[in-house]
Amino acid sequence: MNGRKDDQGKPRWELLPLEPVAAVVDVLTFGAKKYAPDNWKKVENPVDRYYAAVMRHLYAWRQGEILDPESGLPHIAHALCSLIFLAWFELRPRKLTDE
């Protein structure tokens, strides 16, 4: 007897490459130690500041610097992390106060 699983048309999470996700988690861990867990949610003017961070990391990477000198982690992972922050601010419902 064959089992049944109705998952057609659902998001295919198995397609997500986990290596870049793990690198972003490393950046988040570095940031949590340096500042505090979830400190990024409390930054003033986050859209402009995280956009600037994305661009600084991409520029450094494009210039041939693979690893961020402070963290020792890939610039691309730092840029992805800041893009995730931007997406979080963009996609979540607007609230007067954050958690």
Instruction: Tell me the residue range of the domain where 48 lies.
Output: 17-91
Residue 31 is assigned to a structural domain of this protein: yes
Q: Whole-angstrom Cα distance, residue 75 to residue 60?
A: 7
Residue 3 is assigned to a structural domain of this protein: no
Residue 24 is assigned to a structural domain of this protein: yes
Residue 9 is assigned to a structural domain of this protein: no
pLDDT in tens, the chain (99 residues): 789 888 899 999 999 999 999 999 999 999 999 999 999 999 999 999 999 999 999 999 999 999 999 999 999 999 999 999 999 999 987 654 555
Q: What's the structural domain count of the chain?
A: 1
Find the Cα–Cα–Cα–Cα dihedral 50, 51, 56, 58, rounded to 10°.
Answer: 110
Residue 7 is assigned to a structural domain of this protein: no
